[in-house]
Structure 1
Amino acid sequence: MKGSDGDIMCIERNVVVLCHNQMNSVPQNKGGKSVLWMRPANSRPGYVRLEVVYLGRQISTDFYSAIVPVGDQYFLSSEVFQKKFIDLMGHYLQIDAEIHGPAAAFQTYGVKIYTVGSFKCINWPKEANEWVIRPRLHGWPDKTLRDEIVHDGCHLVPVGDKTSPDTFLQWRISFATAERKLVYSLSRVQFLVYGLLKYFLKQISDTLKQILGDTDILSSYIIKTIVFHAVEKTPCSLWQEKHTFICFMLCLNILITWVKAGHCPNYFIPTNNMFLGKVHGENKQKLLHFLLSLHDMKWGCLSVGTFIQPTIGDVVDNIWIGTNGPLCPCLCFPSIPECERDLELFRSAEQYSYTLASLPVSLTFLCKSKTENDEFLSYVTTIHSLSFVAMGKFREHTKYRGNKEKYKYLRKCKIFLSPGASVCTSPGLLTLATYYYQTGNYTKTLNICRDMTTSFKNIYSFDL
């Protein structure tokens, strides 16, 4: 795409990094490699210091120059390493390079290139353990991919926490290789939405610079983080081609909610707020107002900006049915706001009485429904009726003799509760959590409660 840049990660193969709780795994046959040990840093989660444990035979100039004594220990300075790396890069390529985050930025053949030096950590950092074990109700990423990512470890790049008073020895944990694997695991529609969001960010970049004086407040990395959170927290059935713009708006809503809260959780380390020191005060209010105005434009937000012409919004507006037919109906704006129409549907669904007798009626209605509204109302009625039956019958398991008969009965109750849990958080998911609690399955109860109390759920939780 016009204006795209290039990202290169250079990995120092003669250096290996270990987590501070993995010192027993220091390879006996180091093969001449230097060994570094991750140490806690006085910063937010996701940043560490690197202690030099062992010096190998092959030491690069930028590595050796960055070794700094601290008492009777030796650490590696990120600032010294980065400066030396940029100097060497400029010397060998005969170009002028500048610092951009952890990278050396330079221009070549009209393309901006960002090159970062890094070290490989063979362990998975404990700061990201929550990512491995947190509940995933929709199965993404699956266990096989998670195991592969954990097995590959992470990297360390030379940049400190800008909100910290002393960044001289701080290094950032990078999950670049894990993120590549996750991006490659996205479905076609998920990847299209990711591309649409990056296009959207590119289009509004000039306006952001005028409003905030800084385009880095919203970066492409923030966009990638939004997509990861959205895909993990939503069912794969949502990500269909006909829902492309709906999924785009879902991601825009997430961004708006994070800006409003002033908290953007790193995907691997949610306690690392990537908005810290950036989105606050007057800048936060300006950014929020701008994003809300774009959100209110619906399709029109894709017509904002002049970086790429014609805009996607303009192309969409020119879609016609036939040669001289009317504008495609799916692009027309409804006379009644979408939110009001959704609320009216919910009110209609709440008017039904959920009893055992209503179940055959709702199932018949569901089979014969022809419109989306009819299907929605009949499905909601069906799942609430099933939940009503399950809750009414739950305590009857006590009259059965033998654990096998009781298990069959309780299992049937859980099956009746499951459809409601997949549709709404309350009462659906919380009712299922109550079932697990009543049957003594405290692990699943805690998993659901833990998922409900994540920052994402607290900020962006709706009954669908």
Structure 2
Amino acid sequence: MAEGGFGCTDTETGSVSRPNSLYSRHSQNYVESVSVEICTIMTRLGYGEEMRRWRVARYRECDRLRNAYLSNTFITAGSKAEGLTCVYESDRDHLFLLKNVICLEAGINLYSIPHDLQVYRMDTHVYPGHCRLLLERLTSRSNEIIDNALCDNGNGGVLLSSSLFLDEFSSSSFAYIDLLQLKTVQHKCVGPSLPLTIRGCLHEDNVLALRCLCPSVLHRWAARPRHWPSPVIVKKVVTLGAILTPVGFKGSEFKHMEWRINFNSGEAELVSNLNDTQAKVYVLLKMIIKDIIKPTNKEITSYILKNIVLWQAERNPQTRFSAYSLLHWLHDGLRELRTAIAKKYMPYYMIPERNLMEACGINNKLHRKWVADITDMLEEGPGVILRLEKIRKAIVGSPEPMLWYSKKRMELEMLWLEEQKRIAEYIYKNEMLNSSDFMLNSLRFRRGEVLMEVRQRMIQEGCSVNDRDDIAVAMLM
């Protein structure tokens, strides 16, 4: 993505003024009008800027309330923290940070760290974006998960093993912090996460992580020349710091001893500061992966797509991203994805030396197929949108029922999140849920009213679904 790679734009409308491959078979006016229409549809589907920022605020507030009573820090991560998905639309990603442990990069003075923290020194002489952890200082307070993951490095030192740490986490009850969540089923660990299914429909990925101080990495990121984000947001991302998750580089012989450097809170802040068009490009790219590419073993992840969009935002003036240019940037993102697959190379936005496509598991057959599939999509032009199930249904559906349903769906999600916030307030106050709580009962009563309205309309239109819980899950997918 060369800076300013697609030419000039009209700063009033954000429309593209120089033709590229997208406009070789379609007029510029046609592409721009389709772009605006898709933006409108995506807003109605719950991907608009207002709804996105509302979600972010509610999840952050729930985290704040929970952290007031938890012994370790709880962080909502992933698409929920970014405000880009509805309740059941994707997994809920949670991070648990051990409060009494800190990891330091070389050069940080040990004596500047509070004495009640157990300290590990980061050895970064491994694959970029990863490290090993050498014990530097113990404390009187022990942690069973940490203690059982310590190993002799053969040179008189003690290393913290990421694989043993993960094993200890998966066998502990640490992940089951929310006693209000019933019927929980634990699954086999995937990467650094412990997947859970709650009540058969709510999927969670829980990761136990360690706090990390690596200012030199963040300062190198902050010092890059850029169009985006603003200096204020850059400074905030730096202050949010980093964490280490228990997963090594896939191609490393010693991956069981390695940890990966992550910037989850900083990246969530960056994504929440994408403008409306940039966020919708990210969502559309994720839909294309899910509905068209369909990787079976996470060879291509939404994380790769996020990095594509972040690089787009950094390297191009914000005036070029508008509702008129949505399809242009979608095609630009697809071209970058095709290049990443073809070359097996995608630099990590925060640490460019780390290649996100390294050891991704794409075999030659998939390599050829996906490059060909994306080439076909690029040739298809705006028509590729019709291959995305959610967008296609919204286009085919009548405008009035679609708008009515959209309003009910968003209201239902708001009620759900407000209910979660109220429950978190009870936990913060260390109280049992009060069955007579006015606010909680009001939220649940209105939720029932909305579902009754939807069920009645479904019956009128010939649908036979009667269970309100089934309707709620289907609407919030």
Settle same-fold status: TM greater than 0.5. Answer: yes
Q: 2:124 aligns with which of 30, 34, 40?
A: 40
Per the TM alignment, residue 263 of structure 1 is displaced from its structure 2 partner at its CA by 0.6
Aligned residue for 1:123? 214
Measured against aligned partners, the alpha-carbon deviations of 1:335-375 in whole angstroms (never above 9, x if no partner) come to xxxxxxxxxxxxxxxxxxxxxxxxxxxxxxxxxxxxxxxxx
Q: 2:243 aligns with which of 135, 145, 155?
A: 155
1:41, 1:170 within 8 Å by CA — same for their partners in 2? no
Could you tell me which amino acid in structure 1 is paired with residue 347 of structure 2?
P
Q: 1:259 aligns with which of 338, 341, 364?
A: 341
| Closer, same or farther: CA 17–45 of 1 in aligned 2, 3 Å | same
Q: Following the alignment from structure 1 to structure 2, what is the Cα–Cα distance between the partners of residues 300 and 25?
A: 58
Could you tell me which amino acid in structure 2 is paired with residue 80 of structure 1?
L
Q: 1:144 aligns with which of 220, 229, 232?
A: 232
Aligned residue for 1:63? 146
Aligned residue for 1:248? 330
TM-score, structure 2 normalization = 0.60
Per the TM alignment, residue 28 of structure 1 is displaced from its structure 2 partner at its CA by 5.1
2:124, 2:131 within 8 Å by CA — same for their partners in 1? yes
* CA-atom RMSD in angstroms: 2.3
1:68, 1:77 within 8 Å by CA — same for their partners in 2? yes
Q: Following the alignment from structure 1 to structure 2, what is the Cα–Cα distance between the partners of residues 225 and 235?
A: 17
SS in 2 for 1:181: helix
Q: Following the alignment from structure 2 to structure 1, what is the Cα–Cα distance between the partners of residues 364 and 225?
A: 34
Say whether residues 1:234 and 2:309 are aligned partners.
no
| Closer, same or farther: CA 125–103 of 1 in aligned 2, 3 Å | farther
Larger CA deviation: 160-169 vs 1-10: 1-10
Per the TM alignment, residue 175 of structure 1 is displaced from its structure 2 partner at its CA by 0.9
Q: Following the alignment from structure 2 to structure 1, what is the Cα–Cα distance between the partners of residues 205 and 113?
A: 35
Gaps of 5+ in 1: 321-464
1:149, 1:178 within 8 Å by CA — same for their partners in 2? yes
Q: Following the alignment from structure 2 to structure 1, what is the Cα–Cα distance between the partners of residues 374 and 384?
A: 10
Could you tell me which amino acid in structure 2 is paired with residue 220 of structure 1?
S
Per the TM alignment, residue 148 of structure 1 is displaced from its structure 2 partner at its CA by 2.1
Q: Following the alignment from structure 2 to structure 1, what is the Cα–Cα distance between the partners of residues 335 and 391?
A: 20
Output aligned runs, 1:252-291, within 5 Å: 252-278=334-360, 279=362, 281-291=364-374
Q: Following the alignment from structure 1 to structure 2, what is the Cα–Cα distance between the partners of residues 76 and 122?
A: 17
Aligned residue for 1:366? none
Say whether residues 1:113 and 2:201 are aligned partners.
no
TM-score, structure 1 normalization = 0.61
Per the TM alignment, residue 129 of structure 1 is displaced from its structure 2 partner at its CA by 4.7
Aligned residue for 1:6? 92
Per the TM alignment, residue 91 of structure 1 is displaced from its structure 2 partner at its CA by 8.6
Could you tell me which amino acid in structure 2 is paired with residue 29 of structure 1?
P
SS in 1 for 2:139: coil
| Closer, same or farther: CA 288–195 of 1 in aligned 2, 3 Å | same
Say whether residues 1:198 and 2:286 are aligned partners.
yes
SS in 1 for 2:119: strand
Aligned residue for 1:133? 223
SS in 2 for 1:225: helix
Aligned residue for 1:312? 391
Q: 1:54 aligns with which of 133, 137, 140?
A: 137
Say whether residues 1:216 and 2:298 are aligned partners.
yes
Aligned residue for 1:293? 376
SS in 1 for 2:357: coil
Aligned residue for 1:98? 188
1:33, 1:57 within 8 Å by CA — same for their partners in 2? no
2:186, 2:194 within 8 Å by CA — same for their partners in 1? no
Structure having the higher Rg: 1
SS in 1 for 2:290: helix
SS in 1 for 2:256: coil
Measured against aligned partners, the alpha-carbon deviations of 1:92-112 in whole angstroms (never above 9, x if no partner) come to 576433111111111112122
Paired-residue identity, %: 25
2:209, 2:244 within 8 Å by CA — same for their partners in 1? yes
Q: Following the alignment from structure 1 to structure 2, what is the Cα–Cα distance between the partners of residues 60 and 95?
A: 25
1:102, 1:157 within 8 Å by CA — same for their partners in 2? yes
Could you tell me which amino acid in structure 1 is paired with residue 105 of structure 2?
C
1:300, 1:313 within 8 Å by CA — same for their partners in 2? no
Choose between structure 1 and 2 for higher RCO, CA contacts under 8 A separated by at least 6 residues: 2
2:123, 2:133 within 8 Å by CA — same for their partners in 1? yes
Aligned residue for 1:436? none
Aligned residue for 2:103? 17
Could you tell me which amino acid in structure 2 is paired with residue 300 of structure 1?
G
Gaps of 5+ in 2: 1-85, 178-183, 400-477
Aligned residue for 2:114? 29
Per the TM alignment, residue 259 of structure 1 is displaced from its structure 2 partner at its CA by 1.7
| Closer, same or farther: CA 303–251 of 1 in aligned 2, 3 Å | same
Q: Following the alignment from structure 2 to structure 1, what is the Cα–Cα distance between the partners of residues 333 and 225?
A: 21
Stretches of 4+ aligned residues off by more than 6 angstroms: 317-320
2:175, 2:206 within 8 Å by CA — same for their partners in 1? no
2:242, 2:261 within 8 Å by CA — same for their partners in 1? yes
Could you tell me which amino acid in structure 2 is paired with residue 27 of structure 1?
S
Q: Following the alignment from structure 1 to structure 2, what is the Cα–Cα distance between the partners of residues 222 and 160?
A: 18
SS in 1 for 2:205: strand
Measured against aligned partners, the alpha-carbon deviations of 1:22-74 in whole angstroms (never above 9, x if no partner) come to 1x1543532x22111101243x2001001111112222211110111112111
1:105, 1:114 within 8 Å by CA — same for their partners in 2? yes
SS in 2 for 1:283: helix
Per the TM alignment, residue 314 of structure 1 is displaced from its structure 2 partner at its CA by 5.3
Q: 2:171 aligns with which of 78, 87, 94?
A: 87
